Chain A
Amino acid sequence: MTESPEAGRAGPARPPDGPIAGFEAVYRANFGCVTGFFARRSTDPQEVADLTSDTFVQAIRSFASFDAARGTPRAWLLGIARNVFARHCESRTRTQDVAARLAGRRPIDIDEAAELVVRIDAERAGRVLFERLASLSAADREVVELVDLIGLAPSEAAAALQVSPGALRIRLFRARQRLRAAAGQKKGED
């Protein structure tokens, strides 16, 4: 489940042969990482498709201002994905009406759904692991996911979460401590 560290570095910071080629390189290198992020949170192909689309729409709109000195493309994209998902949860709470929620979304066809189902299935183990982190706060869970599940370097995760490396370290340390304590408690109960 830990994704290749190269994934985030594969996309060039600035396109060598035009901005479209540069964006495509970042897109191709990180598409799996972004869909995986959402497939750990939803088993609905349409929802994964919508959230992935929203993330890359924001990414292409702000690609010109992406600064490689402030983090890798992967950390940048996961930061966007995180915000997209937070807003999605917020609107889902506000809008219970499915029809209203789906308005304006492009429905995916059978082929696309099949492709996303494969990706969602591939994340099954990651989803189980992610659910096991339920004892942690949302903030702590995110840190463990980015560093221990996706394989981001702590500095990359700090960039994705828009916190300082120091704050990230303390959050990671605290989250791992709590996980260890929870695992110990469960072992004791067994």
Chain B
Amino acid sequence: MGTFEDRLLERLVQEHGESLTQPPPSPARGRRRRVAVVSGFIGVAAATAAVVYLVGAGTPAYAVSRTADGVTVRISDLDALDAANAELRRLGVPVVAVPRTTDCRETFVTSSNDSTGDTVADPVGAGSEVTASIQGLPVGSTVVIAAEQEGDRVLLSLAKPVRGKIPGCLATLPTVPGGSVVSPRTPTTAGR
């Protein structure tokens, strides 16, 4: 127990101790607002687009826009994943973007065949922008977009929709020399 440590604690309690007994601000307001936004979207289905730039960057960090049957997502910086997902949530679309890493050990259930794993994205169609359709998507399912850094750009690819728990990441497919992709792993091991 040191001098500075003790004196600082003493001063903190003396000068700010009152705030310890005050009730915390209610978080309910934010929650109600979010529900209202989602409900409003379902009723009106208005076309919405959001483009966000990183400070000092010339290209947008992410862009999310509604299409007739889904949403188009563009991400140019992996640090913008959270913000892009917040925008997707705000739009009320069951689409989520997750990082793709080699050490991912997440488990999940795909909505198409209820198997565990095997939601590996189709790397053939990978690009800086993907359009996800949510038409006919089973209730409780979520479309997953895998985001992976490749050199200076972020590659996005669509994975199979998942049901229930949304994985925080997807496993990277092993690649062979020349850039072609080795076959996806079996449903029980992919996307661990």
Contacts and interface: CB of A to CB of B under 8 A. Distances in A.
Interface of A: 19-20, 22-24, 27-28, 31, 49, 52-53, 56-57, 60-65, 108, 111-112, 115-116, 139, 163-167, 169-171, 173-174
B16 interface: yes
B22 A49 contact: no
Nearest to A24: B9
A178 to B, nearest CB: 11
Contacts of A31: 5
A53 B169 contact: no
Nearest to A118: B2
21 contacts: A22-B20, A23-B20, A24-B9, A49-B8, A52-B8, A56-B8, A60-B13, A60-B17, A63-B19, A64-B19, A64-B21, A112-B7, A163-B82, A164-B81, A165-B168, A167-B81, A169-B99, A169-B101, A170-B81, A170-B101, A173-B102
> Interface of chain B, helix or strand or loop or mixed?
helix
A135 B86 CA distance: 31
Given A60-B17, A64-B20, A171-B79, A53 B8 contact: yes
Given A115-B5, A164-B82, A169 B103 contact: yes
Interface string B29-54: 00000000000000000000000000
Given A60-B12, A108-B4, A115-B2, 14 more contacts: A19-B21, A20-B13, A20-B20, A22-B20, A23-B13, A28-B9, A52-B8, A56-B9, A115-B4, A166-B99, A167-B99, A170-B149, A173-B101, A173-B103
Nearest to A22: B20
Nearest to B170: A166
List 9 tightest A-B contacts by C-beta distance, closest first.
A65-B24, A170-B99, A166-B168, A19-B20, A112-B4, A115-B2, A64-B24, A60-B16, A111-B3
B85 interface: yes
Nearest to B149: A174
A169 B104 contact: yes
B25 A65 contact: yes
Given A65-B25, A170-B169, A174-B149, A49 B4 contact: yes
Contacts of A49: 4, 8
Contacts of A22: 20
A24 B14 CA distance: 13
Contacts of A24: 9, 13
Contacts of A164: 81-82, 85, 168
Contacts of B25: 65
B177 interface: no
Contact of B81 (A28, A52, A166): A166
